[in-house]
Amino acid sequence: MALALAWNASAGWFGGDEKTDSNEQLAKLFGAHKAFTGTAEITVQNKKGKIEHAAELEYAFLDGNMRTELNMAKTKAGQKHAAGMEEMAAMGMDRMVTLARPDQKRVYLIYPGLQAYCEMPATDGSDNSQPTKIEKQELGKETVEGHPCVKSRVTITDAQGRQSKLTVWQATDLKEFPIKSEATEEGRTIVTLFKNVQFTKPAAALFDPPTNFKKYASVQEMMMGAMQKMMGEQFGR
């Protein structure tokens, strides 16, 4: 159960699917905000409006590099399978950290409790030497979480001409920070809502994988390593 939960969580949130792509597109909207920290509540709804995934992520952003930390006990799957989450915590797999490094065109998936990580190519394949085109169409003004916002339809066009469309609420009292966004991809709606945003500069070391952690070639290999470690401990090896 624990390995299944871990695999589903890592594949669902960080495996390079539409939710990760949405995260990367959202990062392009931070604009003049070169550094901040905050908490993001993220939900993924299917075509019928049913929530398939729900999670709370801790964000840190610095000069285009992004760090998110997920406690899987706070996801919908983790809350549903409480017993499995206890096992995951014992294995050191209840927390995941993702580092998006567009300067390196790499993404790092880290399990602090497992003291392990893997390195993957960035999913958007963007060319950082070419500017990203961002077009906005204002839709009106709304209040989100007590913040006055300008609501806009945003179209992002990358260097390869690929487009992403989002609805964004930018808080005028937070220097136009995109406090809320909605993106629809493959029939799913991804909603990101930021809270406790602080324009403080996080430490640069937060965006590097730990040098004392074991590096794996893939998520699959890392999961197998965790399973082998668990079985070894159970059988006294």
Name the phi and psi angles at 50, rounded to 5.
-80, 135
Read off the amino acid at residue 195: K
Gap between the Cα atoms of 159 and 73, Å rounded: 38
Assess contact for 14 and 109: CB atoms under 8 A: yes
- Model pTM score: 0.76
Please list the pLDDT of the chain residue by residue as tens digits (237 residues). 444 444 444 444 433 343 445 556 666 777 678 899 999 998 888 888 888 878 889 999 999 899 999 887 666 555 554 555 566 666 667 788 999 998 898 999 999 988 899 998 876 544 444 567 888 999 999 999 999 999 999 998 877 788 888 999 999 999 899 999 998 887 889 899 999 999 999 999 999 999 999 999 888 888 787 777 666 655 555
Inside any domain, residue 120: yes
Q: Is the dihedral of CA 33, 150, 45, 22 positive or negative?
A: negative
Helix ranges (H only) for 65-142 are: 76-80, 82-91
Inside any domain, residue 139: no
Gap between the Cα atoms of 99 and 109, Å rounded: 7
Inside any domain, residue 155: no
Gap between the Cα atoms of 168 and 154, Å rounded: 7
CA 185 remoteness from chain centre: 16
Instruction: Report the largest interatomic distance among the alpha carbons of the chain, rounded to a whole angstrom.
Output: 63
Total number of domains constituting the chain: 1
Inside any domain, residue 172: no
Query: Residue 9 pairs with which residues in a beta bridge?
Result: none
What is the length of the chain? 237
Inside any domain, residue 102: yes
CATH number, domain at 13? 2.50.20
Gap between the Cα atoms of 235 and 226, Å rounded: 14
Closest by CA to 25, choosing from 132, 149, 142, is 132
Query: Residue 198 pairs with which residues in a beta bridge?
Result: 37
DSSP conformation class of 46 = -
Looking from the CA of 91 toward its CB, the CA atoms found within 13 Å total 29
Inside any domain, residue 94: yes
Read off the amino acid at residue 152: S
Domain range for 124 is: 2-128+187-234
Inside any domain, residue 177: no
Inside any domain, residue 86: yes
